[in-house]
């Protein structure tokens, strides 16, 4: 299993974070995908982060990477595809090729919806340089008026699975009523594209060095969930985007648990 950094002692969750799931069995996790977008800044590697709107049902007020749940329409096999095939992704994430295809499609779709970055191109050897012409379709995707397959077919674009790299797999603690089985990806910002925060789910967004984002969390300026915190630590060990995306990581499913420490909630990460 990949060795995980220790969580800082001052990483606690808001007192009202854990709503509880009653006396019944844990909720079944919903499959989800999230993407850490990377770029080389003037002072080193930077990652794109969004600050979720306070009051959202899941992770409200938290600072996160773009991402979200898998839409059943993400399984549409008509979506043009180039790069590692679903069988390869399934072997990395420990799931079926069918689910792996949906996860990769969800990763690309959610990244586009939430940041405007599109990991696709008109052919297998190129990538969109400017996504402005797809602004209307982006809004329609976010509102679910159209499916990702419809968008790709109408634009004639091909999904570039080769621009993504698998990073980790986190499952929401069993105590929470809203649970996600989330596969984390990393990807370099394509040349010519820009990431923004033009989504209804974010109150702000921007690029930061991982060390600075972690400092914001430590000093209480931002709230980071444990998977985000630890992913920032891991990414921050790399000086360049090339170094991070070249990593061949073992992907183990990580299932943390929430423990009450007085009037505070802490997260414990298994290390076995």
Each domain of the chain, given as residue ranges in start order, spans: 30-268
Highest mean pLDDT among 51-65, 97-111, 161-175: 97-111
Q: Is the pLDDT of residue 46 over 70?
A: yes
Name, in order, each residue with C-beta under 8 angstroms of 126's C-beta and a sequence gap of 6 or more: none
Which has the higher per-residue pLDDT, 30 or 219? 30
Residue 140 Rama label (left phi>0; alpha psi -120 to 50; beta): alpha
Q: Is the pLDDT of residue 197 over 70?
A: yes
Q: Is the pLDDT of residue 228 over 50?
A: yes
pTM attached to this predicted model:
0.89
Q: Is the pLDDT of residue 72 over 90?
A: yes
Q: What is the pLDDT of residues 6-25, one digit of tens each?
A: 666 556 665 555 555 556 68
What value does the mean pLDDT take over residues 99-127? 97
User: What is the enclosing helix (H) or strand (E) of 100?
Assistant: helix 97-115
Instruction: Report pLDDT for 204.
Output: 75
Q: State the Cα–Cα distance between residues 184 and 234, nearest whole angstrom.
A: 12
Could you tell me the maximum CA-CA distance found in the chain, to the nearest angstrom? 57
> What is the tally of helices (H) and strands (E) in the chain?
7, 14
Residue with tokens 């854990």: 18
Instruction: Report pLDDT for 222.
Output: 83
Contact 81, 159 (CB under 8 A): yes
pLDDT category at 203 given cuts 50, 70, 90 is low
Contact 227, 168 (CB under 8 A): yes
Instruction: Report pLDDT for 168.
Output: 95
**Least confidently predicted of 104-108, 168-172, 219-223:** 219-223
**Least confidently predicted of 20-34, 53-67, 76-90:** 53-67
What value does the mean pLDDT take over residues 31-38? 98
Between the alpha carbon of residue 258 and those of residues 88, 96, 106, the distances in Å are 33, 29, 28
Highest mean pLDDT among 10-24, 46-60, 69-83, 192-206: 69-83
Q: Is the pLDDT of residue 57 over 90?
A: no
Highest mean pLDDT among 3-17, 41-55, 136-150, 168-182: 136-150
Through-space distance between the first and last CA atoms of the chain, rounded to whole angstroms: 8
Q: Return the closest-CA partner of residue 66 out of 104, 100, 36, 95.
A: 36
Cα-atom radius of gyration of the chain, to the nearest Å?
18
Beta strands in 162-268 (DSSP E): 164-171, 180-188, 202-208, 223-224, 253-254, 257-261, 264-268
Q: DSSP assignment, residue 74?
A: G
Instruction: Report pLDDT for 107.
Output: 98
What value does the mean pLDDT take over residues 106-133? 96
Q: Is the pLDDT of residue 266 over 90?
A: no
Q: State the Cα–Cα distance between residues 111 and 102, nearest whole angstrom.
A: 14
Tell me the average pLDDT of the chain: 88
Which CATH superfamily does the domain covering 30-268 fall into? Nucleoside Triphosphate Pyrophosphohydrolase (3.90.79.10)
């Amino acid at each position: 299993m990949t060795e995980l950094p220790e969580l800082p002692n001052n990483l606690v969750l808001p007192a009202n974070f854990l709503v509880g799931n009653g006396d019944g069995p844990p909720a079944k996790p919903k499959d989800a995908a999230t993407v850490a977008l990377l770029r080389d800044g003037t002072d080193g590697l930077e990652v794109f982060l969004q600050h979720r709107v306070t009051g959202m049902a899941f992770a409200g007020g938290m600072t996160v990477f773009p991402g979200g749940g898998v839409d059943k329409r993400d399984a549409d096999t008509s979506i043009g595809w180039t790069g590692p095939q679903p069988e390869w992704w399934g072997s990395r994430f420990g799931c079926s090729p069918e689910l792996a295809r949906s996860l990769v499609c969800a990763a690309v779709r959610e990244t586009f919806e939430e940041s405007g970055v599109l990991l696709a191109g008109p052919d297998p050897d190129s990538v969109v340089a400017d996504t402005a012409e797809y602004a209307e379709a982006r809004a329609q995707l976010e509102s679910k008026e159209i499916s990702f397959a419809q968008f790709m077919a109408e634009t004639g674009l091909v999904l570039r699975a080769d621009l993504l790299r698998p990073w980790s797999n986190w499952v929401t603690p069993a105590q929470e009523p809203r649970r996600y089985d989330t596969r984390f990806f990393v990807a370099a910002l394509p040349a010519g594209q820009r990431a923004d925060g033009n989504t209804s789910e974010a109150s702000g967004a921007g690029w930061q060095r991982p060390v600075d984002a972690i400092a914001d969390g430590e000093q209480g300026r931002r709230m980071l969930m444990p998977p985000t915190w630890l992913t920032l630590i891991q990414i921050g060990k790399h000086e360049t985007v090339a170094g991070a995306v070249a990593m061949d990581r073992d992907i183990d499913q990580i299932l943390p648990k929430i423990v009450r420490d007085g009037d505070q909630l802490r997260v414990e990460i298994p290390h076995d």
